[in-house]
Chain A
């Protein structure tokens, strides 16, 4: 370089603060999660659909006041088996009730049960699983307890609990959680075991970090995406179980609106009045699929490897 060009440069003053600055882009985990999540238009569209469905299902029954025990039009043959029209959006069923109201009341119960059961299972399962995966002493015993609990026939348990507790929302949530948490715990235990002996955890341990801090700060954040994947699958599974149990006559009982019972009752009308069967089935399907997709996309977004 010749001296003529060199003259164009100037010496800068020494700035201590600036010299300490590390030239890396700022990274915030949750901001990156949301940015990745909202990047795809498809995901945003499905999320809006899901939120709309959930809100509608939670709010609509408050206005309709649907009660499956009340059948005001039961003696009015003109009100039975009406096909969908402007006045009766989803038509009416075999006892003259509005299918529209029944479907949303059922959807509300399904949503409450699935969110509550999944929440309880995940909280207990993740906590127990994290400790279980970490402690080798505990593993020996827990694996046998798991063997026992996971092998008690679920149907037997469901039937006996519905017997002891009676049918209803609370007893259904208890049925769905009283043994299922151990399956979550077992899954988390395996995940924890995989990353427990990684070098960075070994380093942490050598530096004197307590086990609890290692679990909560080093391991659980790593598991967020795995847990989200599990939640995404668990919610539709619980909805599916509610349908299955109601089909067997074990679910929410006759006094609660239930999509599962509607589906099992209306299968007999499939030939003559197919809309009675297809409407609850499609509501379950759309609800489950949108919840599942949003959960999956959230799981992808919570994986830091997708943030690049």
Chain B
């Protein structure tokens, strides 16, 4: 129906996301002093006495994070001479002709030249503009795994082929050789049963916290301690292990232990752990809280509208005013205080862990409280507005009873603006709830953004900003599409409607 409109809007949303990312990149890479990223870095602190190593570490880290391009005189001389040759040893010294060439060439290219404090050798660096950093980030975002992905000079005989087979846990699999992942497509007993490793989203590698881990892995991998089970490996070797065979990846250097378990170079793997991932935890909590909010907020709001200005309405308004006016920090503490003193429920999530239902009760209710107030307020407002319309008076004069008017007419019209908000509240479940999660010490997504900013984890900040803004912009679009499905009178395109 309005395909053209939706496509145009999708394109515009994508442009908006790109602009948001430019702003976020600029803020993160130019407004935060770059020295700060080392505050949380233990390697940096250990290096503080040896000055040249420190300079080396600082600049190579900045290069790794995309701040600047960093060239040492050694790198330049290695293009001229063999490593370890006498010419090489002489050339790296500051007064050699090669070093002078290095200084001249790189200052012509616009690099800043500096000297190591102790050995006096030259190095050059040049800031990478924000737009270029972002271009690089975007171009690396989608990783496609093919049988030519692995480039390992020490293993020239690596076979490059695809074949069908089974995973050691019994599922069907498309097995790659020469690809980064071993099982490119496989089935197992976990949701959604068919998994693929062909296309992966890469939002960068986390630093300095969760060092070396891919951002998405940090957010989506299971947490806690390894769940071991009896496993028979490819080689027939039997052991207790938490291995997830689907995650097997190419490992350039395999050791003796790996040889025991695996027949080829695919020996890097992730393990199953006993607690849900950060996204999983936040999403579970958010979904239950959302269901609770709609389950309570809507009926109570309807009740308030039908008993307008009576006791039920006034009590409901008192609750709404309380939630709007009192800072959420305060009422969540208040709620927890009251509930833990009258029931046996734990005051923090970690007491019984995610496996126990009791851990979830208080956080979920705390999370639902503000949404309940919002839904009560708006559903009451919309229904009261509908009750005063002409068509309702007409229906009444035609002899329909209250219930018919309500179910057939008012409710259908009043629910439209509420349905508009459903995708956005779903999106809110993914981003997590900062205050609730930190008060109850739930290991969810909420803390990730503030922690990442505080610990100068630029890659994480950018990845989260990208995920959150993308999810929210798309959910607003989804909400718009949803109401056109519910109400055929609504038209999104400008030509069909009046405004």
Contact = CB atoms under 8 A, between A and B. Distances in A.
B20 A148 contact: yes
Contact of B327 (A243, A270, A293): A243
Contacts of A155: 434, 449-450, 453
A257 to B, nearest CB: 16
Interface stretch (B240-248, B253-261, B264-272, B467-475): B467-475
Contacts of B13: 147
Contacts of B434: 155
Contacts of A264: 329
B118 interface: no
B325 interface: yes
Interface in A207-253: 233, 236-237, 239-240, 243-244, 247-248
For chain B, what secondary structure do more than half of its interface residues adopt (helix, strand, loop), or is it mixed? Answer: helix
A159 B31 contact: no
B27 interface: yes
Contacts of B325: 236, 285, 288-289, 291-292
Contact of A193 (B16, B330, B499): B499
Contacts of A147: 12-13, 16, 473
Contacts of B327: 239-240, 243-244, 260, 263, 281, 284, 288
Given A151-B469, A163-B31, A247-B329, A292 B321 contact: yes
A293 B321 CA distance: 8
A300 to B, nearest CB: 12
B449 A156 contact: yes
A115 interface: no
Interface string A147-173: 110011101110110011000000000
A57 B340 CA distance: 34
Nearest to B465: A153
Interface in B296-355: 321-322, 324-330, 333-334, 337
A197 interface: yes
Contacts, number: 106
A263 B473 contact: no
B426 interface: no
Secondary structure dominating the interface of A: helix
Interface string A281-308: 1001100110111000000000000000
A267 interface: yes
B324 A236 contact: yes
A136 to B, nearest CB: 9
Interface residues of A, number: 38
The winner among A151, A159, A197, A267 for most chain B CB atoms within 10 A is A151
Given A144-B12, A148-B20, A244-B435, A153 B468 contact: yes
A243 B330 contact: yes
Contacts of A267: 333
Nearest to B326: A285
A247 B436 CA distance: 12
A277 interface: yes
Contacts of B31: 160, 163-164
B24 interface: yes
A159 B329 contact: no
Contacts of A159: 450, 453-454
A281 B334 CA distance: 9
A247 B464 CA distance: 21
Contacts of B472: 151
Given A152-B23, A156-B24, A243 B329 contact: yes
Chain A CB count within 10 A is highest, among B330, B337, B453, B468, for B330
Interface string B209-242: 0000000000000000000000000000000000
A15 B450 CA distance: 78
B32 interface: yes
Given A153-B465, A156-B461, A236-B324, A284 B454 contact: no
Nearest to B472: A151
A216 B392 CA distance: 35
B458 to A, nearest CB: 11
Contact of A240 (B328, B334, B454): B328
Contacts of A156: 24, 27-28, 449, 453, 461, 465
Contacts of A292: 321, 324-325
B322 A160 contact: no
A270 B499 contact: no
11 contacts: A156-B24, A159-B450, A159-B454, A193-B499, A197-B498, A233-B324, A237-B324, A263-B327, A281-B330, A284-B326, A288-B325
Given A159-B453, A159-B454, A292-B321, 20 more contacts: A152-B469, A153-B24, A153-B464, A155-B450, A157-B27, A159-B450, A160-B27, A160-B32, A197-B499, A236-B324, A244-B328, A247-B329, A260-B329, A264-B329, A281-B330, A285-B330, A288-B325, A289-B322, A289-B325, A291-B325
